[in-house]
Structure 1
């Protein structure tokens, strides 16, 4: 019997699927931990995928 494979999620064209990054601020805090800042992709809000085209354009289902 054939197995059905779900379609691959649509990867965000802005971040290419790397939706969240940690940027070092340089230096360490008094406890020795590296100081970082988390940044999310503004297009996909950190999910790495985009909704289907019809949903993005506002067309009804």
Structure 2
């Protein structure tokens, strides 16, 4: 029986697939937990993949 092969997801070249990271702010809160903020890749908006290219029409 034939196997279905799906194209692999296109990984964002700006973040290499690591689209969201947590950055520590350098301190702890009153309960002892690290304070962090989440930053998303601006190129892929936090998805980790890039959209497939659409065919562009050339204008002469």
CA positional deviation for 1:23: 0.4
For structure 1, list consecutive stretches of 5 or more residues without a partner in the other structure: none
Partners in 1 of 2:2 and 2:10 — Cα distance?
Answer: 24
Match of 1:47 in 2: 47
For structure 2, list consecutive stretches of 5 or more residues without a partner in the other structure: none
Q: TM-score, normalised by structure 2?
A: 0.86
Q: TM-score, normalised by structure 1?
A: 0.84
CA RMSD in angstroms comes to 1.6
Counterpart check, 1:28 vs 2:28: yes
Partners in 1 of 2:23 and 2:45 — Cα distance?
Answer: 17
Structure with the higher fraction of residues in helix conformation: 1
